[in-house]
Structure 1
Amino acid sequence: MESKRQQKFAGVIQQDLATIFQREGSGYLPNAMVTITKVRVTPDLALARIFLSFFNGGNSQQALQTIRSHANEIRYKLGARIKDQVRVVPQLEFFVDDTSEYVERMDAIFDKIAKEERQPDTEE
């Protein structure tokens, strides 16, 4: 369970990274929109795990590798934004948030189940 401090810090990072990706994200991934779906911070606030969702990006693993290759640059830009609020800018780890894919897969399964004819219950 995350402390209030971790949650607040994660919210600050999420908001500032969203601004960075909105303004400068086209430099990393042209024709793709990046959404920060979740940020988790370690108790010592030294490591931030950022979960990203990509729209119109095609291959999300390739997009993730591109973002990871620019991680130091993104961390520097984040540090410039939050330098007055923290002592140390956390290391950034990026992951693909596949929640939307999971939801689509589950919806397809439920649709398939709903379309199957129900077998009448037989009692013996």
Structure 2
Amino acid sequence: MQETKRQKQIGQLIQEELSDIFQRMGFNVLEGGMISIAAVKMTPDLLEAKVYLSMFQIKDQDGMLGRINERMGEIKKALGQRVGKQLRRVPELTFFLDETLDYVFKMEELFKKIKEDDSNIKGNSDINKDTK
């Protein structure tokens, strides 16, 4: 089912506010890596928000997700203070890992390998033509 305009608006608002909250709490740059809010998807009743986190160069992503969940109360309180006038209720937050960036890197590696293999095959066929 496609998101409504209101769901998208609230999702964008929460994404912006959470990004700022994460920056103030020091979550955006940790252990030499970066965390960003990739997307926020709202349920139709606007009571639940699925927050997708993109983690770049963070080795223990599940551990980091656990640390963020430990501070959920603090995050939700800060979010409530910021969006309390726009929303009747602050949505329940659920954090997920966004693996789009990992997928992109894997695809780039595969394309590089295919290109290398293709150039090796062409190089070998040129050698075979020269020997005939």
TM-score calculated relative to the size of structure 2: 0.82
In structure 2, the residue matched to 1:57 is: 58
User: Who wins on radius of gyration, i.e. which is larger?
Assistant: 2
Q: Is it true that 1:93 corresponds to 2:101 in the alignment? A: no
**1:58, CA displacement in angstroms?**
2.2
In structure 2, the residue matched to 1:2 is: 3
**Contact 1:34/1:54 (<8 A) preserved:** yes
How far apart in 1 are the matches of 2:33 and 2:66?
A: 14
**1:25, CA displacement in angstroms?**
2.5
How far apart in 2 are the matches of 1:69 and 1:113?
A: 43
Ranges in structure 2 where 5+ consecutive residues have no aligned partner:
126-132
CA 1:30–1:110: 2 relative to 1, 3 Å = closer
CA 1:30–1:108: 2 relative to 1, 3 Å = closer
Q: How many residues align?
A: 120
Runs (4 or more) in structure 1 with deviation over 6 Å come to none
How far apart in 2 are the matches of 1:91 and 1:31?
A: 29
Instruction: Report the AA paired with residue 60 of structure 2.
Output: N
**Contact 1:25/1:33 (<8 A) preserved:** no
Q: CA RMSD in A?
A: 2.2
Instruction: Report the AA paired with residue 95 of structure 1.
Output: F
**1:61, CA displacement in angstroms?**
1.1
In structure 1, the residue matched to 2:23 is: 22
In structure 1, the residue matched to 2:130 is: none
Q: Secondary structure at the residue paired with 1:57? A: coil
After superposing the two structures, state which structure 1 stretch, 109-118 or 93-102, moved more.
109-118
**Contact 1:52/1:95 (<8 A) preserved:** yes
How far apart in 2 are the matches of 1:56 and 1:82?
A: 31
**1:30, CA displacement in angstroms?**
6.0
